[in-house]
Structure 1
Amino acid sequence: MHRGKSHSFKDFVETQLRDLQSRFGMAMWFLARYRDDDWLLLNSFGEGYDLERGDLLRWRDTLCYQRVRERGPLICTDVSREPAYRDAPVTDQLGIGAYLGLPLTDHRGRLFGTLCALDPKPRPELDQDGAREALLRQAHLLETALVWNLAGLDQQRIAEFFEEESRDPDTDLLDMTGWGRILDQERERCRDYGLSAVVLRVHGDNLNPDDRAEVADSLAALIRHQDMAAYLGHDQFAVLLTENTPCRAEQVRERLLDALNAKGLLMRCEYEPLRTTPGLVQPEVLLNGAVH
C-alpha cells in the first residue's frame, strides 16, 4: 500500500471487510465516518441492508453513537437484550438483531468513525473466547492504515498539483483541463475518507495581462499549500479549498477579497461545495461561458 494513495486505502478497507465477514459472519460490515452529526457510510461488504456508499444516517440515532459513548458492548449478540441498542431509533428502522462496533480515531486523535457490522438476526455464536481481542486487533490494523493515509493526504495533493502539466501559460495556474483532473482527484478523496471541500470562483471585469498575473500571484500566496488555484479564462479564477466547509470558506473569501482590493484589484467571489459527481465542472457558471 502506497502512502497517501486513496484508491489503495479503499481497496484495503474492502479486503478487510470481506475477511471480517468470512471470519465472524454478520450480514454486512461497514466503515462509517462521523461527520457533521451524521453517520456517513464510506465502505460496506455483504447483504441484508439497503445501505450503500455515501448514505447518511442521523448520528444520534445509530448504534455506533451508543457504542462510542460506551453505553453498549463491542459485541452484542442480541440487540433486543441490550437497552441502549434496542431503544436506538435505527434498530427498528433497519431491523437489527445483532451488532458489532469498534470506534476509530484519526491522525489527530479525534473520533473518525466506526468499524461496525449488522445482522437482522441474533448471533449467539459470536459470544466466544477470543472474539473481542481478535476484533480489537483488526480494528487497530484498520486504524493504523487510516492514520497513515490521512496524514499523507496533503503531501499527495501537493504532488498532484506540481505534477499536473495542463496549465495556463500566462499565469502558470491550472487551466480548465488540469483543474478538471484536480477536482476529480479530490472528489475521490472525499468519497474514500468522508471529507468535504469548497470551490471558490474569483472573477473580475476586463482585466489587463498585468492585473491577471497579479491576481494569480496573490491567490497562490494567500491560500494554504494544500489548496489549489486555476485560471479558467474570461477573467475567471477558481480555488479549491480542501477539507473545508462553507462556513470556513466565507472567512477565506473575505481575506482574499480584502487582499486583492488593497492592491486595487476589484474582484468578486462566490463559493459552492465540491460535489462528488466525477467530471463535473465547478464552478458551474463556467459551463455557460463567462458571466460577470
Structure 2
Amino acid sequence: MNLVELAARSTPPSPSTAVLRTRARRPAAQDVAGTSLRRSARQVVDALAGSSGLETWYLGRVDGETLLPLAVSTGSRSVTTGRRVRWSDTPCRRMASGLGPTVAPVVADVPNYARAPFSLALGVTAYAGLPLHDRDGRLLGVLAGWSTRPAPVVTPGLEPVLRAFSELLTQALDAEVRDDEAQRATEREAVRRRAADKVTSLSSRTGWGAVLREEDRRCAERGLPVALLVVDVGLVRSSARLQRATQAIVRALPDALVSRLNARQFGAVLPDVEPDEVAATAEEVATALRSEGFTASTAWATSGEAGDLGAVWLLAEQRLYSARRDGVRP
C-alpha cells in the first residue's frame, strides 16, 4: 500500500474525501528513483495536483532563511525541485506562523497571503498548506499548493486529507533523519581511520573534504540543514597544547564531526541545526578554548547561504579571516 492509499484510509469516509481517493495520479516513471521520502512526497504532490483544484503542489524543507523544494508536482513551472526560494517571501511562512488558514479558496480574501511577494509574482488565486513539525515541535518544512487560474474551485474536504498527508510525510522525514544519524556515525569512524591527523587523531583536511561531499549529497537529496563552523585557536607552540585545544573543541561539540584543517584551524560539521543554534554553539566553543588560555576566533555559515557546502565553507572561512583581522569575538 502506497502513501496515497494510507492517507485516504486515515481520513473519515465522506463524499469529499472519496473524490481525492479515486482521482490520485500515478507518479511519473522517471521519478521513481531517489529516497523513500522523495518517492512518497512525489506521490502525494501529484495526487493533490490532480484532485484538489490547485494545480501546483510541493513539499519543501525549511533551511534557515530559505525553503528547499524536495518534491514538486508534475508540470509545475513556478517552483522547481532543488531550487531554493526565500522563505520570508512565501505565503507558506505566513501560514506556518498562524497568520492565515490552512485552505484559502480565494487568496484575495486573506491579505497576509495575497501580499506575500511570492503570491504577487505568480498571481496566486487560491492556496492551501500545512507545516511539518518534528517530535520536538520544530518546523521542518511545509506541504503546500496553489493555483494561478482565475476563480479555481477548491475540492471540498481538502483540509483533513492534507493533514493526513502531512502527518505521513513527517513520519517519513523523521525516519530519514534517524537513518542519516546512523550513517554519519559510520562515516565518522571511517574518515578517522583513513585520514587521521597524527597529533590530534581527528580527521585531516582530506577527510574533511570527503565528509563535505557526503553532507552535500544529503543536503541536495533531503533538504537537511547543515552548518559549517570554523575555529581558529591561535598560535600553538607544542603538541601537548594542540591536543589540549582539540579536547576542548571535541568536548564542546559532542555531536559534530570535527577535523583539523591546518596548523591552527579546525572545522566542524553541524547537521540539522538552525542558525540561532549555531551562534550559541560557536560561543560555547570559543568560551571553552579561552578558559584553557587559547586566543579563539570562530565563524560559521549555513547550507541555505550558498549553493553547495564547498561555497559554504569558503564563506565561513572568509568570515573567520574578517573576524581575526577586525579583532571581533563571537
Shorter-normalised TM range: 0.7 to 0.9
Equivalent residue, structure 2, for 1:161: 188
Question: Unpaired segments of 5 or more residues in structure 2?
Answer: 1-33, 319-323, 326-330
Structure with more of its chain in helix, by fraction: 2
What is the CA deviation profile of residues 92-145 of structure 1, one whole-angstrom value per residue up to 9, with x for unaligned ones?
2321022121222112123333200122114644324x5443333222211221
Distance (Å, rounded) in 1 between the aligned partners of 2:160 and 2:226: 34
Match of 2:56 in 1: 28
Aligned residue for 2:142, secondary structure, equals: strand
1:175 match: 204
2:58–2:71 contact (8 Å) kept in structure 1: yes
RMSD between aligned alpha carbons?
3.5
1:219 to 249, 260, 263: 249
Query: Given the superposition, is the C-alpha separation of residues 267 and 166 from structure 1 closer, same or farther in structure 2, using an over 3 Å criterion?
Result: farther
Aligned positions, number: 274
CA contact (8 A) 1:166 1:177 kept: no
1:198 aligns with 2:228: yes
Q: Percent identity?
A: 22
TM-score, normalisation: structure 1? 0.75
Match of 1:254 in 2: 286
| Amino acid corresponding to residue 124 of structure 2 in structure 1 | I
Cα distance per residue 1:49-105 (max 9 Å; x no partner):
25662211426x62551465273342x333235555445554323210221212221
TM superposition outliers: structure 1 runs of 4+ over 6 Å: none
Contact 1:227 1:239 in 2 (8 A): yes
> 1:122, 1:104 → 2: CA distance?
29
In the alignment, the residues of structure 2 paired with residue 91 and residue 169 of structure 1 have an alpha-carbon distance, to the nearest angstrom, of 52
Moved more, 96-105 or 81-90: 81-90
Question: Contact between 1:257 and 1:267, CA under 8 Å: does it hold in 2?
Answer: yes
Partners of 1:131 and 1:193 lie apart in 2 by: 26
Change beyond 3 A, Cα 1:132–1:270: closer
SS of 2:212's partner is helix
Residue 41 of structure 1 pairs with residue 73 of structure 2: no
Structure 1, unaligned stretches of length 5 or more? 1-5
Cα distance in 2 between the residues matched to 1:269 and 1:125: 57
